[in-house]
Amino acid sequence: MASVALRFRKSGRLSLLGGLLAVGLASAGMTACTAPQGLAPAAAPAAGAWRLSDRSMAAAADKRAVEAALEVMKAGGSAVDAAIAAHAVLGLVEPQSSGLGGGGYMVVYDRKSNTTTVFDGRETAPAAATPDYFTVDGQNLGFVQAILSGKSVGTPGAIALYKAAHEKYGRRPWASNFDAAIKLADEGFIVSPRLAGSLGPRFQSGPLGTNPASAAYFFPNGKALAVGDRRTNPEYAATLRAVGKDGPSAFYSGKIAADIVAAVQSGDIKGSLTLEDLANYRALEKPALCGSYDVYRICSAPPSSSGGVAMNQIMSLYGELTSKSDDFTDETLLRDFVLAQQLGYADRDHYVADPDHVAVPVADLLNPAYIEARANSGFDPGEAPLPGDPGAVLHGKPIVDMWGRDANTAQAGTTHMSFIDFEGNAVSFTATVEGPFGSQRWTNGFLLNNELTDFTRPPTLGGKVVANAPGPGKRPRSSMSPTIVFDASGDVFMVTGSPGGNSIVGYVSKTLVAVLDWGRSAQEAAALPNVIARGQTVRVETSDAKAGPNATGRQWAEMLTQQGFKVQEVSGEVSGLNLIVVRKDHLEGGADPRREGVALEAVR
């Protein structure tokens, strides 16, 4: 794939944003070259030992997962070992968000080899899937019908992802990474407020509460698990012991695989997943998709993930837009971030899909000439964003009408984890089962995903097939954006990511702008109001359930409204960001105050 450069004109600015932001870092960077996949950082890491080799850090959605990760790293494990241990715990204590029955993307930075690698554990459609997979008796399934059907379940990728990453970067024995989760499953874990609060009436009346096995687990004696209850899960422990002993084959063949297929092929609307689909599943190893912003290098997952394209395009557009201004004010910086989001989302929605099934113009979308043209297209606040046409801009050959227009929705049943180990290696890992509790289909102590509803339904729009239509063995487009940022010397500077369905793109890009440009700490970046600019309406978080009204969010909503944007004030943007920023002499953690996550450090 051809090399592309993300150019910015260097500009310093004072960034206050509603009086709450301090002096920002220089926003628009020096000219730098990057390839869309896999080039080494612009500068090699400093010679000798990692400067913070006396400490490691983990940030995740539950303290028990973070503690498991830190114990693994203190025992000599790598950031990858820590990520496996943490996620195995989250699959037990946070089953509404991710688990063994789902998948994800793991971005791994290995300092010794100076490489950044992505392990793609995205779920895949059955071999029998066709573009009209969600059409039954001539009718397209409604959203609720689709997510509760067997058709929503893709081949889970989590276990295969674990193994692929561990074989390359793990240092602890494979099975030992499951010890903390097995102990919690055997002895029982205390139900958290978030898990208890997720078990509302709609789940008790749905498959989760009517299937005998899952009903007994989540609604014992007809009552939902309550805060403080102790819940054991011997089936989960048995599954992890089997995987620890025999590796992924214990999951993708034999009894567990047969049970997964039986769960998918049950109910009124059965899925097509087979034992062959499970046996044929492979996690993919890919180079990270990286781009430059100021002195920083931003690396995330390539398609079918949105991360690499969306994070780099939004930051590139933001840099191009802000570079045109001589007067940096709160209003102009916020305006340019929102415009960049709207343009980036529109392109992502239209072009990003599984690159093994459709042509995704990654290099063209990140080409500086296209970025400049996109930023200068005359798109103004309040207008409805449409996808651009990099083919027309760069090659005189329009490509925008290759695909039908796509604005598919996605539910927020996802989790994110960030890790840095004692050697300076880093992992950014976003995992999911799609909607809350996935498909609500339960087997062997875990829930199966409803990930295939991330495909666009119906598969054609405007008479044309959309890029993200279902297909045999295809991976649905994901909003997951696990991201690692490198500093001018090539060392890790930031590890970030978030759950949140389609809003993930907005949540993660907020942390990048806040830390890299607005001078915020990791915790301040996580806590800032969320602004989601996908489409014509801009959602601005002006309150949340835990903290109540948000004065900064209200200021931002007023600013954007005055500039002509169509603003919707919202509550409940429960982003779930977990990030780490590497300062000169310490690690700085941030966990979204809207959830139960924590960022903790281990010192040796």
SS3 track for 543-590: EECCCEECHHHHHHHHHHHHCCCEEEEEECCCCCCEEEEECCCCEEEE
Q: Are residues 152 and 452 in contact, defined by beta-carbon separation less than 8 angstroms?
A: yes
State the Cα torsion 52-55-57-63 to the nearest 10°.
Answer: -170
Question: Position 369: which residue type?
Answer: A
480 contacts 464 by C-beta, under 8 angstroms: no
Distance between CA atoms of 362 and 246, rounded to whole angstroms?
A: 38
The residue type at 516 = L
Is the preceding omega at residue 304 within 30 degrees of 0, hence cis? yes
Q: Pick from 163, 117, 61, 76: which is nearest to 592 by CA?
A: 61
Phi, then psi, of 502 in degrees rounded to 5: -60, -20
Sign of the C-alpha dihedral computed for residues 474, 476, 480 and 486 taken in this order = positive
Closest CA to 294 of 7, 515, 512, 21: 7
Respond yes or no: is residue 415 known to be catalytic: no
Comparing CA positions, the residue from 510, 411, 393, 506 lying closest to residue 453 is 411
Quote the DSSP letter at residue 329: -
Pairing of strands 115-121, 135-136: unpaired
**Dihedral, 358, 363, 367, 370 alpha carbons, nearest 10:** -10
Burial 553-576 (b: 16+ CB within 10 A, else e): bbbbbebbbebebebebbeebbbb
Residues 6+ apart with CB under 8 A from 182: 237, 240, 241, 244
Which residue of the set 414, 456, 483, 496 is catalytic?
Answer: 414
Dihedral, CA atoms, 122, 128, 130, 132, nearest 10 degrees? -100
Query: What does the alpha-carbon distance between residue 508 and residue 494 come to, in Å, rounded to a whole number?
Result: 12
Residues serving a catalytic function are: 414
